[in-house]
Amino acid sequence: MDVEPRLSPSSLSEVVDLVRAYVRQQTVAPLRGVGRWVAFGLFGGILLVIGLVFFAMGLLRGMQTIPALDGAWSFVPYFAVLISSIVIMGFAKGRISIGVLHPGDDAR
């Protein structure tokens, strides 16, 4: 005589509430952290680009005031700014790390 255990409506609602709480804990909280991580990354990237543009313009204007770079050598400041910008972007890219979204998560 096997009797199947049946779930009462109260225990069924408890299971549903438990599953909802678990899903909320495992999805909503991490997504908030991801949003904050992405926002700070975008903000930092925009500031880096603005700083590089101002640096490049200042370097170009400064080099254009050098009398030796007039006439046939007027292309040199543009190439110098291009090369220095590429070096700075390469240095910045090398210093940027991906990091871990969830420091307590060692399952990766």
Phi/psi at 66 (nearest 5 deg)?
A: -75, 120
- pTM here is 0.60
In a domain, 101, yes or no: no
In a domain, 103, yes or no: no
In a domain, 36, yes or no: yes
DSSP 47-106: HHHHHHHHHHHHHHHHHHT-GGGSGGGTTHHHHHHHHHHHHHHHHHHHH-----SSTT--
Structure tokens at 63: 């080099």
Q: What is the pLDDT of residue 75?
A: 92
Residue 37: count of CB within 10 angstroms of its CB: 14
In a domain, 58, yes or no: yes
Q: What is the pLDDT of residue 37?
A: 81
Q: How many domains does the chain have?
A: 1
In a domain, 106, yes or no: no
Q: Give residue 82's domain range.
A: 10-95
In a domain, 105, yes or no: no
Structure tokens at 20: 């909802």
In a domain, 25, yes or no: yes
pLDDT in tens, 75-89: 999 999 999 999 998
pLDDT in tens, 18-69: 888 888 888 877 777 788 888 888 998 899 899 999 999 999 999 999 998 8
Residue 52: count of CB within 10 angstroms of its CB: 15
Q: What is the pLDDT of residue 29?
A: 73
In a domain, 3, yes or no: no
